């Protein structure tokens, strides 16, 4: 069994290395985000700091840019910025995972880097019948993994559950291991809880959280954490109906915040909150690093969306790492990690100015940029104002970040962003504020927006022409006041 797994890994690795030669220098290949060397990538898995290095695994199909039997790809870094591709960690093929090694997590178990994942087995493709198991694999060197002889460590879902039983997230509390798993019952999403002394024998502890109908039919990729004395369940519900500006994507990613009692195993919580209000953020997973930060990385795409990069032999990417924290207002926020300062290059400063219609910032050009622009609301007569990035010279191509003064809403408009899908995403800006601060990370095919220090975050894939590199400020229906703007070109870490 071990030898057969190693043979499958070697075949997959050889295939991906050959395929990677064809994707280099293609138009939408990102400059500073985690991607597979080629072909398909989706959910981040097993994010962890282990032996002083950061490891990120991801759902990966090395044989096609359109998905297939899922493997685990693998990168590592010393600083969360410069990443190194490592050999593929897991390949499907055992009786318990022959159709795919689905999402999961990673822990340090007595010095061994241990992966906990879902083995997916398709029973009937025509009727979509399947079964899902929870499995583990171990590594001494953090590179080469062996599936455990005790697999599957959880061989069936709870009796009141369904075959949808996946995406284990494991952590240790005092001397016991705990696992949350995404599941459903009666077509309603839920997260179930397990407990173990050794990662091998698991006891079912009941339902941690569940949908009453509003939160859809399936909870994927759960992650249960403690942050500043509060417990947070991160997860991705499927089947949530749109409601105003909320839940506009096919699937969502968000959290429940509350209190958890390890004795009673009861989690009391408030309403569901979306983590990212943009187009492309799913399956966010977090880890705690040695600086005490709770860091989150998500899949920077969305199921069933158009991915123009597939024409070039690859698909999908992960977001920049973000620190999850409660801000001074007590609101949950996400902010870019400070290590991203390392990739800043040329610096441009734009001083205070009044925007009466449009200002083209001729001094700022590029496919990979970081921009921080702050606008005053005290000296503003405009109905709307904002910033447009990745603009073409003829003005036909642009991605717009718009603040609606009257509605107090931020909007990302990608209807003119290039080859990808169009659409608009809108979110209320929470709290009382006298200014609007827009922090943008722009890559060759992505935009990540952090508003007012991460109280609102919006992530979007965009596919502009490589020559569309201009930036402009604008206002509508009056004048807007720019307090200041700072911009940096960003290094390409993959060159």
What is the distance, to the nearest Å, from the Cα of residue 424 to the centroid of all Cα atoms in its chain?
Answer: 19
Cα gap 41→39, rounded to integer Å:
7
Token pair of 350 as six digits:
């734009």
8 A C-beta contact, residue 41 and residue 73:
yes
Question: Number of C-alpha atoms within 13 angstroms, CB side, residue 111?
Answer: 2
What is the distance, to the nearest Å, from the Cα of residue 194 to the centroid of all Cα atoms in its chain?
Answer: 25
Instruction: Name the one residue in this structure whose structure tokens are 């940029």.
Output: 369
Residues with a known catalytic role: 43
Cα-based angle 440, 376, 370 (whole degrees, multiple of 5): 15
Prior bond to 328 cis, omega within 30?
Answer: no
| Cα dist from 481 to 4, 286, 372, 375, whole Å | 64, 37, 15, 6
Residues ≥6 apart with Cβ < 8 Å to 307? 301, 315, 316, 420, 461
Q: What φ, ψ does residue 13 adopt, rounded to 5°?
A: -65, -40
Question: In this structure, what DSSP letter does residue 238 have?
Answer: E
Beta bridge partners of 108: 113
| Pairing, β 314-315 against β 39-50 | parallel
Prior bond to 254 cis, omega within 30?
Answer: no
8 A C-beta contact, residue 435 and residue 453:
no
Q: How many CB atoms lie within 10 A of CB 422?
A: 12
Token pair of 353 as six digits:
């100015």
Residue-wise burial string across 269-307, b where 16 or more C-beta atoms lie within 10 A, e elsewhere: beebebbbbbbbbbbbbbbebeeebbbbbbbbbbeeeeb
| Cα dist from 136 to 2, 62, 196, 284, whole Å | 14, 21, 13, 21
Residues ≥6 apart with Cβ < 8 Å to 432? none
8 A C-beta contact, residue 319 and residue 340:
no
Alpha helices in 31-85 (DSSP H): none
């Amino acid at each position: 069994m071990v030898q057969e797994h190693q043979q499958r890994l070697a075949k997959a690795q050889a295939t991906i290395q050959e395929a990677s030669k064809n994707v280099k220098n293609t138009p939408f290949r990102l400059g500073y985000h985690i991607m597979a060397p080629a072909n398909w990538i989706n959910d981040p898995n097993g994010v962890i700091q282990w032996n002083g290095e950061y490891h990120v695994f991801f759902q990966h199909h090395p044989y096609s840019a359109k998905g297939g039997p899922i493997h685990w790809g693998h990168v590592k870094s010393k600083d969360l910025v410069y990443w190194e591709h490592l050999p593929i960690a897991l390949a499907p093929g055992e009786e318990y995972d022959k159709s795919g090694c689905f999402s999961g997590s990673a822990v340090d178990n007595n010095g061994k880097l241990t992966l906990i994942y879902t083995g997916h087995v398709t029973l009937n493709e025509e009727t979509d019948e399947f079964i899902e198991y929870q499995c583990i694999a171990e590594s001494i060197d953090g590179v080469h993994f062996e599936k455990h002889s005790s697999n599957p460590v959880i061989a069936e879902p709870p009796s009141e559950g369904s075959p949808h039983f996946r995406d284990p997230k494991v952590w240790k509390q005092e001397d016991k291991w705990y696992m949350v798993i995404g599941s459903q019952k009666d077509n309603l999403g839920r997260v179930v809880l397990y407990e173990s002394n050794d990662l091998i024998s698991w006891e079912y502890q009941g339902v941690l959280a569940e949908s009453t109908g509003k939160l859809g039919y399936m909870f994927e990729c759960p992650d249960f954490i403690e942050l500043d004395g509060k417990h947070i369940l991160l997860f991705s519900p499927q089947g949530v109906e749109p409601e105003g500006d909320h839940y506009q994507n096919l699937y969502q990613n968000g959290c429940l915040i509350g209190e958890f009692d390890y004795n009673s195993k009861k989690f009391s919580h408030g309403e569901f909150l979306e983590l990212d209000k943009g187009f492309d953020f799913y399956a966010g997973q977090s880890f705690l690093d040695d600086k005490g930060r709770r860091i989150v990385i998500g899949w920077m795409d969305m199921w069933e969306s158009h991915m123009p990069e597939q024409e070039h032999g690859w698909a999908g990417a992960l977001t920049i790492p973000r620190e999850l924290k409660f801000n001074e207002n007590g609101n949950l926020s996400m902010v870019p990690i400070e290590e991203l300062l390392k990739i800043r290059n040329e610096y441009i400063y734009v001083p205070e100015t009044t925007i009466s219609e449009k200002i083209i910032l001729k001094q700022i050009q590029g496919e990979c940029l970081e921009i921080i622009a702050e606008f005053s609301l005290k000296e503003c007569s405009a109905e709307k104002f904002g910033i447009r990035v990745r603009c073409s010279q003829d003005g036909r191509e642009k991605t717009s970040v718009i603040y609606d003064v009257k509605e107090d809403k931020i909007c990302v408009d990608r209807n003119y962003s290039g080859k990808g899908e169009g659409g608009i995403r809108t979110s209320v800006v929470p709290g009382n504020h006298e200014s609007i601060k827009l922090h943008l990370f722009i890559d060759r095919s992505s935009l990540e927006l952090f508003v007012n220090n991460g109280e609102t975050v919006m992530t979007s894939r965009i596919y502009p022409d490589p020559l569309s590199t201009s930036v402009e400020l604008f206002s509508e229906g009056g004048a807007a006041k720019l307090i200041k703007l700072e911009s940096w070109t960003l290094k390409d870490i993959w060159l």
